[in-house]
């Protein structure tokens, strides 16, 4: 076994932060760019490692690097570099501030409540739906491959044994690894039977993770691998609500459905799973943290419909139905509406008053004002689009009233209304992009003159 050197390439190796079946992960520093990184290291000269074949390790690392680069999504870990130094193979990735889900599950004093756990599962479903749309099946969904950041954002890791389906638009340069993939406790029946896999295999694994997160127990147990596989193939787990009666009925039903042995009987997409969980979280959306729409607000919105481009073309019936699943919220001058870096899936329409959008250019600097919004403007709309962390903070510049629209609200709209809203949102985003481009050109012109 080769001793891990102080440097691998340009990367300074520091303390070990994690250890898995395929190697170790170290905190490190990129001397060229000047940023912290995480470095996954596998020493192929260490014969005690089960995956020490240099050719297999190289293919897995190459595949993970290519998939990460082509998926490039906020819910996937970003990989910067990879290679080998003698018998040591490495991947360099972003260093994340958070905990893997297995550590959260195994910590009895964990302060994560039911709602936060359901939020994690919703984000996990959205993340895998994105990968599945690109034709990638992860094949190794398990708690240790799911990171929950300090701001609540979920990141999916380790695509080393992922599988690209026939119509995938992700280009893998070499023939895919002919391995089963997966970790026994979380494998689907079709993985165990070495059958043809599609996204529904991951959906089974999501359900196993969900079961464990919400009950603290895995659904299938065995004295050895053979008996575990038998349980997964032929036995039904203990009803999830028997282990935790606090689990909402709809959530319990969705998890049970996705644990079906026959993939045709599961929910068919990870998006469907996420939507079921998300609807449960926000069933009390109208009353949990805001006021129901009043007739007064309805009259204001109808009177100034021309000023609210987001739904100016909705007819009265559509407007009424939409407002039944929205909230109005009042904020006092100086009050925070949402914070930069927070994760959310809602957007806001400014009904009255002014809102200030500000952003920190780095951790040490003060915030700078990016925009000052007035009645009719929308903000936070990327929460509806992709649920990524907020890129700026929003404060009430004056006393103001906003209309809050959550992503789940659109699920409750009819197709015609939802299509109009998405179309109007795309027009608004296009206008914002053109305005931003103009400002950048003007800034560049002034800089050149000076």
Which is catalytic among the residues 140, 202, 278, 377? 140
Q: How far is residue 55's CA from residue 116's CA, in Å, rounded to a whole number?
A: 41
- Of 101, 87, 93, nearest to 40 by C-alpha is 93
Answer yes or no: are the C-beta atoms of 144 and 205 closer than 8 Å. Answer: no
Q: How far is residue 402's CA from residue 147's CA, in Å, rounded to a whole number?
A: 33
Place of tokens 């290679």: 83
- Of 86, 267, 78, 58, nearest to 177 by C-alpha is 58
Which residues, including other chains, have CB under 8 Å from residue 30's CB and lie 6 or more apart? 10, 11, 36, 37, 80, 92
Is 362 in the active site? no
Which residues, including other chains, have CB under 8 Å from residue 299's CB and lie 6 or more apart? none
373 beta partners: 355
Answer yes or no: are the C-beta atoms of 168 and 134 closer than 8 Å. Answer: yes
Q: How crowded is residue 446: how many other Cβ atoms within 10 Å of its Cβ?
A: 9
Residues 266, 269, 270: CA angle, nearest 5 degrees = 105
Q: How crowded is residue 414: how many other Cβ atoms within 10 Å of its Cβ?
A: 11
Measure the CA dihedral 44/48/53/59, to 10°.
-70
Question: What is the gyration radius of the CA atoms in the chain, in angstroms?
Answer: 24
Answer yes or no: are the C-beta atoms of 326 and 403 closer than 8 Å. Answer: yes
From residue 63, alpha-carbon distances to 66, 82, 87, 163, 228 in Å are: 5, 11, 19, 10, 29
3-class DSSP state for residue 71? helix
Residues 417, 387, 158: CA angle, nearest 5 degrees = 135
The catalytic site residues sit at: 140
């Amino acid at each position: 076994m080769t001793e891990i050197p102080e440097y691998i390439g340009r990367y300074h190796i520091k303390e070990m932060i994690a250890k898995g079946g395929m190697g170790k992960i170290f905190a490190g520093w990129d001397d060229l760019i000047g940023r912290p990184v995480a470095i996954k290291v596998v020493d192929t000269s260490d014969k005690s490692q089960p995956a020490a074949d240099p050719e297999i390790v190289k293919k897995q690392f190459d595949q993970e690097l290519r998939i990460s680069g082509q998926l490039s999504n906020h819910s996937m870990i970003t990989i910067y570099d990879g290679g080998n130094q003698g018998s040591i193979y490495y991947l360099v990735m972003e260093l994340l501030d958070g905990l893997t889900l297995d550590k959260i599950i195994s910590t009895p004093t964990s302060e994560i409540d039911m709602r936060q756990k359901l939020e994690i599962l919703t984000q996990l479903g959205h993340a895998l739906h994105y990968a599945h749309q690109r034709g990638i099946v992860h094949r190794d969904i398990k708690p240790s491959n799911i990171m929950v950041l300090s701001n609540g954002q979920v990141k999916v890791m380790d695509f080393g044994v992922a599988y690209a389906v026939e119509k995938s638009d992700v280009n893998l340069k070499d023939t895919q690894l002919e391995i089963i993939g997966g970790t026994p406790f979380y494998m689907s029946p079709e993985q165990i039977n070495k059958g043809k896999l599609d996204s529904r295999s991951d959906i089974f694994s999501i359900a196993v993770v969900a079961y464990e997160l919400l009950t603290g127990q895995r659904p299938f147990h065995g004295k050895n691998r053979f008996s575990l596989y038998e349980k997964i193939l032929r036995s039904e787990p203990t009803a999830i609500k028997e282990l935790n009666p606090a689990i909402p009925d709809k959530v319990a039903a969705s998890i049970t459905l996705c644990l079906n042995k026959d993939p045709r009987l599961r929910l068919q997409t990870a998006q469907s799973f996420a939507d079921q969980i998300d609807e449960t979280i926000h069933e009390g959306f109208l009353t949990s943290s805001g006021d129901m729409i009043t007739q007064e607000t309805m009259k204001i919105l109808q009177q100034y419909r021309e000023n609210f481009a987001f739904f100016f073309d909705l007819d009265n019936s559509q407007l009424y139905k939409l407002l039944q699943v929205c909230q109005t919220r009042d904020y006092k001058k100086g009050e925070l509406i949402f914070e930069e870096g927070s994760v959310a899936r809602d957007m806001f329409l400014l009904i009255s008053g002014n809102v200030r959008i500000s952003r920190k250019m780095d951790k040490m600097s003060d915030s700078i004002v990016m925009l000052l919004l007035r009645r009719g403007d929308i903000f936070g709309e990327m929460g509806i689009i992709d649920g990524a962390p907020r890129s700026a903070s929003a404060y009430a510049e004056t006393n103001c009233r906003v209309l809050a629209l959550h992503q789940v609200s659109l699920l409750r709209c009819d197709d015609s209304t939802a299509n109009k809203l998405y179309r109007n949102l795309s027009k608004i985003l296009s206008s914002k992009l053109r305005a931003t481009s103009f400002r950048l050109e003007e800034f560049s012109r002034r800089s050149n003159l000076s």
